[in-house]
Amino acid sequence: MLGADWHIQFGTGLDRTVRISSFNINDVGYHYIGLRVLAGLTAEGASRKEQLQVISRNAYKYATDKALRLMLPEPKGTFDAIGEKICQELVQMKFAKLSRGGPYELAPNGLRAVQLLSERRYRELRRAMVSAHLGTYDNLRAVFERHLDLGPLWRPILEAGTPLTNADLDSIASVSFSSDEMPVQLGSEIAGLPGKKAEDVIVAAMLARDLPSDRMGVALFRVLCDRLNSLRILNIRRASAKHLEFLESYAVACRSNPGDKWYTELVANGPEGELFRYFISDPDPESKSVQQRIADSIRIAFKTLESEAGYYDLPDVRDLVCEELRIPEASFDEGLIRVLDSSTSPFTVALRYERISARRKPLFRPGESSQLFNLIRGSQ
C-alpha cells in the first residue's frame, strides 16, 4: 500500500538535453494506456512487437472514443507508430525499462503508477505524472515556466486564406506583443501572407522572444501546450480581444504557495540532482467547499455573460470560472458534475449542437446514460 505522501524520484542519470520530439502524443492519457498494457502483457510473456501493436490499437480507440463522446472530429493520421513512441517516453520518465532485444517491462515507478491506477487514486497519479514530465523534459518545462514567469500567452487565430489588415496587425501588436505597433521586421514578414501562414510566423516570433535559447518549432510548441493542458497545469481558452480571436494559455500553478488550500506542492527531480519546485492547483471535486466555490463563481459568471432563453454558454462559463479561481478545466468539470448530481442542485443543464469544438468542449457527465451539456442556467 502506498502512503498518501508517496512520490516518484526522477532524473537520475538523465541527459540534460532530453526533449519531447513526438508530434503525436498530445494527451497524457496515452501514457496511462501504455502502463496498463505493459502491466497486462508482461505477465503473459508477450513480445515487444505484440506490446506495441496492442498499445497502438488502444491509443487509437481512446482517441476515437473521446472524439465521438464529445462530438468532435475523428482524429487524423495513423496510430501505427504511436505505441513505440509511448513506450520510449515511459522509459525516459523511468516508468518502464527495455532489455536489449526483449520486451518492455514496467520499472518500479511504473508498478507504483499502475497500483495507483488500479486503486483509482487519480490525483496522486496525476501529480506523479506531472513530476515525471517536468523533471524529464527540458522543452516541456521551458514552455510551462514561460507561462509561470511571464503570464498568459495570447496566440492569434487567423482565418485560412484571409490576408491581414492594418487593423488586424494593430490588434495583434497590442494583445500578443503588448505594443502599440507590430515589430517592424515581423510586420514586413507577414505582409500579404494568408491567415494561417501569418499565424505561424507570429507565434514563431513570440517563441523567439520568450524562449530564445530553445529553438522550438511552432507545431511542437502547440503539441507541448496540449500536453501541459492534459496534465492539468495549463489552461487554454478561446477568447476575443480587439475584434480578433485568440487562444489564451495560462498556468494553473505558482512558484510560491498562494495560500489556497487546493494548491499542492510538487517537486520534480531533474538531471544532476536539480530540483524544480511548484505549487499546482489541484482541487478535490469531492470537497463540499470546492463545490460551493465553483457554484458561487458560476453565479458570478452569469452576471458577466449574456443569456439566451435563460441559458448561458457553458464553455464560456467554464473559461471565466477557471480563470477566476485558477483551477484546471477538468477540475471545473468534475466539480460541476458533483454539484449537478446533488438532489438540491442549483443549476440546470442542456445541449445545443452548434459551436462545439476542441476548445469549446461540452461537459461530459458519465453515468448509466452518459450525457453531454453545453448550456447552463440557475434552477427555477
When pLDDT is averaged across residues 332-353 and rounded to a whole number, the result is 95
Average pLDDT of the chain to the nearest whole number: 90
**Model pLDDT, residue 8:** 44
Kindly list the distances between the CA atom of residue 137 and the CA atoms of 34, 98, 132, 330, in Å, as whole numbers in the listed order.
Answer: 18, 19, 8, 23
Per-residue pLDDT averaged across 359-369, rounded? 84
Residue 197 has a pLDDT of: 87
- Among the residue ranges 137-141, 180-184, 196-200, 255-259, the one predicted with the least confidence is 180-184
The sign one gets for the Cα dihedral 25, 33, 28, 59 is: positive
Q: What is the largest CA-CA distance in the chain?
A: 65
Q: Per this entry, what is the length of the chain?
A: 380
Condensed to tens digits (0 to 9), the pLDDT of residues 300-335 reads 999 999 999 999 999 999 999 999 999 999 999 999
Report the C-alpha gap between 374 and 360 in whole angstroms: 9
Q: Whole-model pTM?
A: 0.92
pLDDT range class, residue 6, cuts 50, 70, 90: very low
Among 238, 33, 217, 9, smallest CA distance to 128 is for 9
Closest CA to 91 of 25, 34, 33: 34
Q: For position 248, what pLDDT does the model report?
A: 96
Q: Specify the range with the lowest mean pLDDT, choosing from 21-25, 176-180, 206-210, 350-354.
A: 176-180
Lowest mean pLDDT among 1-5, 68-72, 73-77, 283-287: 1-5
- Note the pLDDT of residue 233: 98
Distance, CA of 53 to CA of 82 (rounded, Å): 9
What is the spatial distance between Cα 362 and Cα 96, in angstroms, rounded to a whole number? 35
Burial of 213 (0-12, 13-18, 19+ CB in 10 A): exposed
State the Cα–Cα distance between residues 168 and 158, nearest whole angstrom: 9
Average pLDDT over residues 347-360: 90
Number of neighbouring beta carbons within 10 Å of residue 59: 25
DSSP string, 246-263: EEEEEESEESS--S-TTE
Indicate the SS3 state at residue 106: strand
pLDDT at 1 over 70: no
Q: What is the mean pLDDT of residues 122-127?
A: 95
pLDDT digits (tens, 9 = 90+) for 265-308: 999 988 778 899 999 999 999 999 999 999 999 999 999 999 99
Q: 369 or 144, which is more confident?
A: 144
**What integer is the mean pLDDT of 209-228?**
92
pLDDT in tens, 78-95: 899 999 999 999 999 999
Quote the pLDDT of residue 369: 65
In the numeric block, the cell 463540499 is attached to: 288
Matching residue, cell 521586421: 185
Q: Which amino acid is at 81?
A: A
CA atoms of 8 and 24, how far apart (whole Å): 25
Confidence at residue 38, expressed as pLDDT on a 0 to 100 scale: 96
Burial of 48 (0-12, 13-18, 19+ CB in 10 A): middle
Q: Where are the alpha helices (DSSP H) in the chain?
A: 29-44, 48-69, 82-92, 108-118, 122-136, 138-150, 166-176, 184-190, 195-210, 218-230, 288-304, 314-325, 329-341
Give 339-354 as a DSSP string: HHHSTT-SEEEE--ST
Say whether pLDDT at 184 is over 80.
no
Task: Please report, rounded to a whole number, the percentage of residues in the chain having pLDDT higher than 90.
Answer: 69
Closest by Cα among 35, 73, 48, 79 to 61? 79
pLDDT at 178: 83
Identify the pLDDT of residue 186: 82
